[in-house]
A and B are shown apart, each in its own frame.
Chain A
Amino acid sequence: METPADYLQQIPHAAAVGMTVVRHDEVTCIARVPYAEHLVGDPDTGVLHGGVLTALLDNTCGMAVRAPGHEPGSVAMATLDLRIDYMDSAEPYRDIYAEAVCYKRTRNIAFVRATAYQDTAENPIATCVASFMMNTPNEPRQ
């Protein structure tokens, strides 16, 4: 069985930003993006761009919806809505983490909240809520 970490390596953008899974259980997922020069949003301060957080939060929320150890590509879903509040600037030269909890799954929609942080989840740099449409088409388009 493939681990979620392997699964992330199959997502080109997740691999390109260096995203890895730290922990994944039935309803929660923690993932990490290591600090990297190509992800910097402000060259004066070296702080990572907000878009990196968006990608990490979106992907971590998506993984929290799926149970760990699922077959990659077996459950297709699409982000419907993502809202992010930025509480604090990320500190440069440090990795960022996101912890997502899927608190409700219905037949069609899954609801997730997540926190991005550098030290602990109690000291967030961003929080987010997201909803996902379940069982979307997953075949190559004509």
Chain B
Amino acid sequence: MKVLQELRAAGRGQDMQAVVEMIPYARFLGIQVDQKGNEITTIMPFKQALVGNVNLPALHGGVIGAFLEMTAVIQLLFDTSCERLPKTIDVSIDYLRSGRPQPTFGRAIVTRHGRRVANVRSEIWQEERSKPIGLSHGHFLLTPI
């Protein structure tokens, strides 16, 4: 991604908030990044456009999946020096609890980082970190620089 190359060249390669602001779909979901040292937490404030069930109400399953995937990619970009967006090969999502009309937070861990493929686990939660609403495990193809 051009913006990633520019940020890396300017020594701001780890400014993940700047990266998400350049991705139209991340702006549409309203995803923000909280960065404290080398720890990244993604934040998705609630808005009506994210709802999948109006009766409960609950977040759309696709929104939960997208937020898990975005959290994984942001962590991967932060941990590596790749200048292009990693390509998702596959992702497996567990839905643990329905997402309430509240802000959602996410963390990811790169469990293995090979030359071509990275394995990433993500977890998202709302009020309590110990009660995740969704988990994912994905494989990502790292395109060489």
Q: Which chain A residues numbered 114 to 140 have a C-beta less than 8 Å away from chain B?
A: 137-140
Partner of A54 from the list B57, B69, B94 (CB cut-off 8 Å) is: B69
> Quick check: is B110 within 8 A (CB to CB) of the other chain?
no
Chain A nearest CB from B48 CB (Å) reads 5
Chain B, Cβ-Cβ closest to A54: B65
Q: Is B98's beta carbon under 8 Å from chain A?
A: yes
Q: From the candidates A41, A56, A140, name the one contacting B23 in the complex (CB within 8 A).
A: A41
Question: Which residues from 25 to 53 on chain A have a C-beta closer than 8 Å to any C-beta of chain B?
Answer: 37-44, 48-52
Q: A38-B28, A80-B95, A81-B93 are in contact. Are A86 and B88 (CB under 8 A)?
A: yes
Q: B85 interface residue, CB < 8 Å from A?
A: yes
Q: Which residues of A contact B67 (CB under 8 A)?
A: 51
B contact residues, total (Cβ < 8 Å):
43
| Partner of A83 from B50, B51, B60, B91 at Cβ < 8 Å | B91
Interface contact A13-B52, CB-CB below 8 Å: yes
Whether A83 touches B92, Cβ cut-off 8 Å, given contacts A13-B49, A43-B1, is yes
Asked if A12 and B51 make an inter-chain contact with CB atoms under 8 angstroms apart, the answer reads yes
How far, in whole Å, are A81 and B93 apart by their CA atoms in the complex? Answer: 6
Please name all residues of chain A whose beta carbon is closer than 8 Å to the beta carbon of B90 when the two chains form the complex: 83-86
Kindly list chain A residues whose C-beta atoms are within 8 Å of the C-beta of B98: 78
User: Within 8 Å CB of B36, what residues of A?
Assistant: none
* Residue count of chain A within 8 Å CB distance of chain B: 43
Residues in A with CB closer than 8 Å to B95 are 78-82
Residues 61-90 (chain A) with a chain B CB within 8 angstroms? 62, 73, 76, 78-86, 89
Can you give 10 contacting A-B residue pairs, CB < 8 Å?
A10-B54, A37-B24, A41-B25, A42-B23, A49-B25, A54-B62, A55-B66, A59-B62, A85-B90, A138-B56
A-B contact sample (16 more), CB < 8 A, given A43-B22, A58-B62, A73-B54: A13-B50, A13-B62, A38-B25, A41-B25, A44-B1, A44-B2, A49-B66, A73-B55, A81-B93, A85-B90, A86-B89, A138-B53, A138-B55, A138-B56, A139-B56, A140-B55
Interface residues in chain A, defined as those with a beta carbon under 8 Å from any beta carbon in chain B: 10-14, 16, 37-44, 48-52, 54-59, 62, 73, 76, 78-86, 89, 137-141
